Structure 1
Amino acid sequence: MSDLLFVYGTLRKGNVNAMAQYLASHAVFIADGWFQGRMYQITYYPGVIASEDDSDRIYGEVYKLSDTEAMLKRLDDYEECAEHHTQPAEYTRISTAIKAINGRVYESVWIYLYQWSVEDKKYIPEGDFMRSLSR
Protein backbone atom coordinates (compact mmCIF):
# COMPACT_ATOMS: atom_id res chain seq x y z
CA MET A 1 0.00 0.00 0.00
CA SER A 2 1.38 3.38 -1.00
CA ASP A 3 2.07 5.86 1.79
CA LEU A 4 1.93 8.87 -0.55
CA LEU A 5 -1.06 11.20 -0.97
CA PHE A 6 -1.67 14.00 -3.50
CA VAL A 7 -3.92 16.85 -2.33
CA TYR A 8 -5.23 19.65 -4.54
CA GLY A 9 -8.01 21.40 -2.61
CA THR A 10 -9.00 22.07 0.99
CA LEU A 11 -6.14 19.92 2.36
CA ARG A 12 -3.36 21.99 0.78
CA LYS A 13 -1.03 24.26 2.75
CA GLY A 14 -2.66 27.58 3.48
CA ASN A 15 -6.02 26.12 4.49
CA VAL A 16 -7.04 26.39 8.13
CA ASN A 17 -9.65 23.65 8.44
CA ALA A 18 -9.25 20.82 10.96
CA MET A 19 -8.47 18.15 8.34
CA ALA A 20 -5.73 20.26 6.70
CA GLN A 21 -4.20 20.73 10.15
CA TYR A 22 -4.46 16.98 10.80
CA LEU A 23 -2.64 16.22 7.54
CA ALA A 24 0.06 18.81 8.25
CA SER A 25 0.73 17.33 11.68
CA HIS A 26 0.61 13.63 10.65
CA ALA A 27 2.35 13.69 7.27
CA VAL A 28 5.53 15.03 5.71
CA PHE A 29 5.41 17.33 2.71
CA ILE A 30 7.40 15.71 -0.14
CA ALA A 31 6.95 17.91 -3.22
CA ASP A 32 4.72 20.20 -5.21
CA GLY A 33 3.35 18.34 -8.20
CA TRP A 34 0.61 17.90 -10.76
CA PHE A 35 -1.92 15.39 -12.00
CA GLN A 36 -3.34 15.16 -15.53
CA GLY A 37 -6.91 16.22 -14.95
CA ARG A 38 -9.56 18.94 -14.98
CA MET A 39 -10.71 20.85 -11.90
CA TYR A 40 -14.21 22.11 -11.14
CA GLN A 41 -15.67 24.23 -8.35
CA ILE A 42 -18.15 21.92 -6.61
CA THR A 43 -19.24 24.21 -3.76
CA TYR A 44 -16.60 25.71 -1.43
CA TYR A 45 -14.27 22.89 -2.48
CA PRO A 46 -12.99 21.57 -5.83
CA GLY A 47 -13.45 18.29 -7.61
CA VAL A 48 -11.01 16.76 -10.09
CA ILE A 49 -11.60 14.31 -12.90
CA ALA A 50 -8.90 12.57 -14.95
CA SER A 51 -8.20 13.88 -18.45
CA GLU A 52 -6.66 12.47 -21.62
CA ASP A 53 -5.45 15.96 -22.66
CA ASP A 54 -1.73 16.46 -21.88
CA SER A 55 -2.31 20.18 -21.30
CA ASP A 56 -4.79 19.59 -18.45
CA ARG A 57 -2.93 19.89 -15.16
CA ILE A 58 -4.07 19.94 -11.57
CA TYR A 59 -1.55 21.41 -9.17
CA GLY A 60 -1.14 20.24 -5.61
CA GLU A 61 1.15 18.68 -3.05
CA VAL A 62 2.50 15.20 -2.36
CA TYR A 63 2.66 14.04 1.27
CA LYS A 64 4.13 10.96 2.93
CA LEU A 65 1.61 9.64 5.46
CA SER A 66 2.86 8.63 8.92
CA ASP A 67 0.30 5.88 9.66
CA THR A 68 -1.04 5.11 6.19
CA GLU A 69 -3.93 2.80 7.05
CA ALA A 70 -5.31 4.93 9.89
CA MET A 71 -4.85 8.17 7.97
CA LEU A 72 -6.51 6.86 4.79
CA LYS A 73 -9.45 5.64 6.87
CA ARG A 74 -9.86 9.12 8.36
CA LEU A 75 -9.38 10.80 4.96
CA ASP A 76 -11.95 8.46 3.37
CA ASP A 77 -14.42 9.63 6.03
CA TYR A 78 -13.55 13.26 5.32
CA GLU A 79 -14.07 12.73 1.58
CA GLU A 80 -17.22 10.69 2.39
CA CYS A 81 -16.14 7.72 0.27
CA ALA A 82 -15.70 5.09 2.98
CA GLU A 83 -17.76 1.90 2.66
CA HIS A 84 -20.37 3.12 5.17
CA HIS A 85 -21.16 6.21 3.06
CA THR A 86 -23.89 6.17 0.43
CA GLN A 87 -22.55 4.89 -2.89
CA PRO A 88 -21.71 5.98 -5.45
CA ALA A 89 -19.86 8.50 -3.32
CA GLU A 90 -18.95 11.97 -4.52
CA TYR A 91 -15.26 10.98 -4.49
CA THR A 92 -13.29 7.82 -4.98
CA ARG A 93 -9.71 7.18 -3.89
CA ILE A 94 -7.38 5.73 -6.53
CA SER A 95 -3.65 5.22 -6.90
CA THR A 96 -2.00 7.02 -9.81
CA ALA A 97 1.25 8.58 -10.99
CA ILE A 98 1.99 12.16 -9.94
CA LYS A 99 4.65 14.31 -11.53
CA ALA A 100 6.64 16.55 -9.21
CA ILE A 101 7.42 20.08 -10.33
CA ASN A 102 11.13 19.13 -10.25
CA GLY A 103 10.49 16.39 -12.86
CA ARG A 104 10.48 13.34 -10.57
CA VAL A 105 7.59 10.92 -11.11
CA TYR A 106 5.93 9.24 -8.13
CA GLU A 107 4.34 6.09 -9.56
CA SER A 108 1.89 5.14 -6.82
CA VAL A 109 0.17 8.05 -5.10
CA TRP A 110 -3.34 8.21 -3.62
CA ILE A 111 -5.68 10.88 -5.00
CA TYR A 112 -9.37 11.56 -4.48
CA LEU A 113 -11.20 11.97 -7.79
CA TYR A 114 -14.68 13.42 -8.23
CA GLN A 115 -17.19 10.94 -9.68
CA TRP A 116 -20.46 12.83 -9.98
CA SER A 117 -21.49 14.96 -12.98
CA VAL A 118 -19.59 18.20 -13.55
CA GLU A 119 -22.06 19.40 -16.18
CA ASP A 120 -23.30 22.36 -14.09
CA LYS A 121 -19.99 23.04 -12.30
CA LYS A 122 -17.61 25.94 -12.98
CA TYR A 123 -14.37 24.81 -14.66
CA ILE A 124 -11.16 26.06 -13.01
CA PRO A 125 -8.85 26.38 -16.05
CA GLU A 126 -5.62 27.09 -14.13
CA GLY A 127 -6.00 23.80 -12.23
CA ASP A 128 -4.83 25.43 -9.01
CA PHE A 129 -7.43 25.70 -6.27
CA MET A 130 -5.34 27.95 -4.05
CA ARG A 131 -4.70 30.36 -6.92
CA SER A 132 -8.39 30.35 -7.85
CA LEU A 133 -9.26 31.48 -4.29
CA SER A 134 -7.15 34.61 -4.68
CA ARG A 135 -8.98 35.76 -7.85
Structure 2
Amino acid sequence: MPFAVFASPEVAGVGAREETLRDAGLEYATRTYQYDQTARGSAMNADGFVKVIIDLDGEILGCHIIGPDAADLIQEVVVAMKAGTGTVQDIRDSVHIHPALSEVVQRAFSGQFSRGRNSRHSH
Protein backbone atom coordinates (compact mmCIF):
# COMPACT_ATOMS: atom_id res chain seq x y z
CA MET A 1 0.00 0.00 0.00
CA PRO A 2 1.59 3.30 -1.03
CA PHE A 3 1.66 6.21 1.39
CA ALA A 4 2.55 9.89 1.42
CA VAL A 5 3.14 12.45 4.14
CA PHE A 6 2.52 15.98 2.95
CA ALA A 7 5.08 17.71 5.13
CA SER A 8 8.30 19.54 4.49
CA PRO A 9 10.09 17.56 3.20
CA GLU A 10 7.44 15.44 1.51
CA VAL A 11 7.75 11.70 2.14
CA ALA A 12 6.30 8.81 0.10
CA GLY A 13 6.82 5.11 -0.15
CA VAL A 14 5.52 1.76 -1.28
CA GLY A 15 6.42 -1.79 -0.33
CA ALA A 16 9.00 -3.14 2.07
CA ARG A 17 11.36 -1.20 4.28
CA GLU A 18 15.01 -2.22 4.49
CA GLU A 19 14.85 -2.71 8.27
CA THR A 20 12.01 -5.23 7.88
CA LEU A 21 13.92 -7.27 5.29
CA ARG A 22 17.15 -7.13 7.30
CA ASP A 23 15.41 -8.21 10.52
CA ALA A 24 13.74 -11.10 8.66
CA GLY A 25 17.13 -12.26 7.36
CA LEU A 26 16.09 -11.88 3.72
CA GLU A 27 18.48 -11.14 0.87
CA TYR A 28 18.02 -7.84 -0.93
CA ALA A 29 19.89 -4.99 -2.59
CA THR A 30 19.48 -1.21 -2.36
CA ARG A 31 20.34 1.88 -4.31
CA THR A 32 19.94 5.51 -3.25
CA TYR A 33 20.00 8.42 -5.67
CA GLN A 34 20.06 12.10 -4.69
CA TYR A 35 17.73 14.65 -6.28
CA ASP A 36 20.60 17.06 -6.91
CA GLN A 37 22.32 14.49 -9.13
CA THR A 38 19.75 15.29 -11.85
CA ALA A 39 19.65 18.47 -13.93
CA ARG A 40 16.22 19.50 -12.65
CA GLY A 41 17.02 18.63 -9.04
CA SER A 42 20.23 20.64 -9.24
CA ALA A 43 18.47 23.62 -10.83
CA MET A 44 15.83 23.49 -8.08
CA ASN A 45 18.53 23.11 -5.43
CA ALA A 46 16.35 20.21 -4.28
CA ASP A 47 17.32 18.32 -1.17
CA GLY A 48 16.03 14.75 -1.30
CA PHE A 49 16.61 11.19 -2.41
CA VAL A 50 15.03 8.03 -3.79
CA LYS A 51 15.87 4.70 -2.14
CA VAL A 52 15.07 1.51 -4.04
CA ILE A 53 14.97 -1.98 -2.52
CA ILE A 54 14.98 -5.04 -4.78
CA ASP A 55 15.43 -8.78 -4.46
CA LEU A 56 18.48 -10.34 -6.04
CA ASP A 57 16.53 -11.11 -9.24
CA GLY A 58 15.54 -7.45 -9.76
CA GLU A 59 11.98 -7.59 -8.41
CA ILE A 60 11.00 -4.31 -6.74
CA LEU A 61 10.40 -4.89 -3.03
CA GLY A 62 10.05 -1.25 -2.02
CA CYS A 63 10.83 2.35 -2.81
CA HIS A 64 10.95 5.36 -0.52
CA ILE A 65 11.28 9.00 -1.53
CA ILE A 66 11.98 12.05 0.59
CA GLY A 67 11.94 15.43 -1.13
CA PRO A 68 9.89 17.71 -3.38
CA ASP A 69 6.96 16.02 -5.18
CA ALA A 70 7.64 12.67 -3.49
CA ALA A 71 3.94 11.74 -3.56
CA ASP A 72 3.79 12.30 -7.31
CA LEU A 73 7.11 10.58 -8.03
CA ILE A 74 6.22 7.37 -6.14
CA GLN A 75 3.30 6.72 -8.52
CA GLU A 76 5.61 5.45 -11.26
CA VAL A 77 6.92 2.82 -8.89
CA VAL A 78 3.42 1.85 -7.75
CA VAL A 79 2.38 1.29 -11.37
CA ALA A 80 5.52 -0.77 -12.08
CA MET A 81 4.88 -2.94 -9.02
CA LYS A 82 1.14 -3.42 -9.57
CA ALA A 83 0.57 -3.26 -13.33
CA GLY A 84 4.00 -3.95 -14.82
CA THR A 85 6.36 -6.87 -14.40
CA GLY A 86 7.32 -5.58 -10.97
CA THR A 87 11.01 -5.43 -11.84
CA VAL A 88 13.58 -2.68 -12.20
CA GLN A 89 13.30 -3.05 -15.99
CA ASP A 90 9.84 -1.44 -15.93
CA ILE A 91 11.40 1.83 -14.81
CA ARG A 92 14.83 1.50 -16.46
CA ASP A 93 13.25 0.99 -19.88
CA SER A 94 10.70 3.80 -19.57
CA VAL A 95 11.52 7.05 -21.38
CA HIS A 96 11.70 10.02 -19.01
CA ILE A 97 11.48 13.68 -19.94
CA HIS A 98 14.73 15.64 -19.60
CA PRO A 99 15.16 17.72 -17.58
CA ALA A 100 12.37 16.61 -15.25
CA LEU A 101 12.41 15.63 -11.62
CA SER A 102 11.12 12.16 -12.55
CA GLU A 103 14.62 11.37 -13.82
CA VAL A 104 15.65 10.87 -10.20
CA VAL A 105 13.38 7.81 -10.06
CA GLN A 106 14.72 6.37 -13.30
CA ARG A 107 18.32 6.89 -12.24
CA ALA A 108 17.70 5.32 -8.85
CA PHE A 109 16.60 2.17 -10.68
CA SER A 110 19.36 2.31 -13.31
CA GLY A 111 22.65 2.06 -11.49
CA GLN A 112 24.61 -0.44 -9.47
CA PHE A 113 22.77 -1.82 -6.43
CA SER A 114 24.51 -2.69 -3.16
CA ARG A 115 23.66 -5.95 -1.50
CA GLY A 116 21.95 -5.42 1.85
CA ARG A 117 23.05 -6.97 5.09
CA ASN A 118 20.64 -9.27 6.79
CA SER A 119 20.79 -10.01 10.49
CA ARG A 120 20.79 -13.78 9.98
CA HIS A 121 24.18 -13.70 8.24
CA SER A 122 25.85 -10.63 9.77
CA HIS A 123 26.77 -12.11 13.15
Q: Indicate whether the TM-score tops 0.5.
A: no
Greater strand share, structure number: 1
Greater helix share, structure number: 2
Q: TM-score, normalised by structure 1?
A: 0.28
Q: TM-score, normalised by structure 2?
A: 0.30
